[in-house]
């Protein structure tokens, strides 16, 4: 099965801007759907067109941020407050299978592109909306604000530093995934009923739902997670960082007793395996600072080549800490890139948002 043709013949009308909503549109584009993106003519289009990196030229018509979730889309510049432009959207709705939107509170109804209105034009339409909070909550919401409000920043960073946001629009990405899943379920339901429906996801709910083990710890034990850097709160030495003699940093993913013993063997510190302070995961958590200090001392006596080779031989989970230049220099990183040539001859790049593989006819 060719993944790129799964949704061939499906038409998606994207009435969304910024990142969360457009990421859903790009997902369908990557799977072969026709995606028509409607942008606000009165504001010179999607706001992210102008979210340029400081090193980008102001002459560049589209920012790299815009490119990240807008691939293979047909773009229409319309003013939905004008009847003629609104009627163009209604004509598209008649032929569309999916609508994706992220209008702020009240705007969709005011502009006549809410689900109740559009479903009267096409009752088979699957209408997906992303909200910041609840549908009837008028507060504006942005990724960084939600990272603060839903606990992410309180847990991210180091104990002696300020709360820190994740350097990615992680809440937008999570909400986009939630809406994709909802739309896919709605399309499956439509195959059975022949009817469309309204699907929604909020940044708030998507963020809190991703708390998984951290939320479970609080809900069951009443323990509020604290900032501990990259360390795992329940496993040691998992998330701890060591450096080799030539300055290469590695993150350890030691999650079991066997992993720990293998790490000690790889670092030639077998005495730590029987040290009473480190005999179990619980003891390693209690004595983490001492343990990590010893592991760092051992790693610092090896070159990266020797350290990585020995750890691989012993089956120790770990990874070198790479920057994006190093990631995309590798074949696996190159495989993640999508390119698009534009009318002016320029070529833009972004990473794939759809990375699952399907085997079979």
Does a structural domain hold residue 245? yes
Residue recorded with tokens 């801007």: 17
Are 270 and 189 contained in the same domain? no
Does a structural domain hold residue 359? no
Are 259 and 343 contained in the same domain? no
Give the per-residue pLDDT at 2. 83
Give the per-residue pLDDT at 234. 97
Does a structural domain hold residue 276? yes
Give the per-residue pLDDT at 345. 86
Are 315 and 346 contained in the same domain? no
Give the per-residue pLDDT at 217. 97
- What the block records as the tokens of 171 is 């809440």
Tell me whether the omega of the peptide bond preceding residue 96 falls within 30 degrees of 0, making it cis: no
Does a structural domain hold residue 125? yes
Does a structural domain hold residue 14? yes
Q: Tens digit of pLDDT for each residue in 164-191?
A: 999 999 999 999 999 999 999 999 999 9
Distance CA 329, CA 333 (A): 7
Q: Which residues of the chain have pLDDT under 70?
A: 1, 361
Does a structural domain hold residue 215? no
Are 200 and 307 contained in the same domain? no
Give the per-residue pLDDT at 360. 81
Give the per-residue pLDDT at 1. 67
For residue 95, the enclosing domain spans: 3-209+337-351
Sheet strands side by side (includes 11-15):
73-78, 34-40, 11-15, 98-101, 126-131, 197-202
Contact 143, 130 (CB under 8 A): no
The CATH number of residue 32's host domain is 3.40.50.10540
Are 145 and 268 contained in the same domain? no
Contact 205, 198 (CB under 8 A): no
Are 78 and 187 contained in the same domain? yes
The domain total for the chain is: 2
- What the block records as the tokens of 153 is 């920043």
């Amino acid at each position: 099965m060719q993944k790129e043709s799964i949704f061939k013949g499906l038409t998606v009308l994207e009435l969304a801007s910024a990142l969360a909503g457009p990421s859903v549109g790009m997902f369908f584009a990557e799977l072969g759907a026709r995606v028509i993106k409607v942008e606000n003519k009165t504001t010179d289009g999607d706001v992210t067109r102008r979210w340029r990196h400081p090193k980008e030229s102001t002459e560049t018509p589209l920012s790299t941020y815009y490119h990240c979730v807008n691939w293979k889309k047909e773009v229409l510049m319309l003013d939905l407050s004008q009847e003629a432009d609104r009627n163009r959207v209604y004509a598209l709705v008649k032929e569309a299978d999916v609508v994706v939107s992220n209008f702020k509170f009240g705007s969709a109804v005011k502009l006549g592109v809410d689900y109740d209105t559009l479903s009267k034009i096409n009752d088979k339409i699957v209408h997906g909306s992303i909200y910041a909070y609840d549908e009837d909550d008028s507060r504006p919401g942005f990724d960084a604000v939600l990272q603060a409000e839903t606990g992410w920043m309180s847990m991210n960073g180091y104990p002696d530093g300020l709360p820190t946001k994740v350097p990615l629009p992680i809440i937008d990405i999570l909400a986009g995934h939630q809406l994709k899943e909802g739309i896919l379920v709605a399309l499956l339901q439509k195959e059975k009923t022949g009817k469309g429906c309204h699907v929604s996801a909020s940044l708030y709910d998507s963020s809190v739902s991703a708390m998984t083990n951290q939320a479970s710890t609080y809900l069951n034990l009443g323990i509020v997670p604290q900032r501990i850097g990259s360390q795992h709160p329940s496993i040691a030495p998992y998330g701890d960082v060591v450096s080799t003699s030539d300055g290469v940093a590695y993150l350890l993913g030691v999650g079991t007793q066997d992993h720990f013993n293998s790490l000690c063997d790889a670092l030639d510190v077998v005495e730590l395996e029987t040290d009473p302070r480190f005999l179990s995961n619980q003891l390693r958590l209690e004595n983490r600072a001492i343990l990590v200090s010893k592991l760092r001392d051992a790693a610092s006596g090896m070159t990266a080549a020797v350290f990585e080779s020995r750890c691989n031989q012993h089956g120790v989970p770990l990874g070198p800490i790479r920057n994006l230049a190093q990631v995309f220099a590798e074949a696996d990183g190159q495989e993640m890139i999508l390119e698009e040539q534009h009318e002016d001859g320029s070529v833009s790049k972004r990473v794939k948002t759809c990375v699952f593989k399907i085997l079979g006819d």
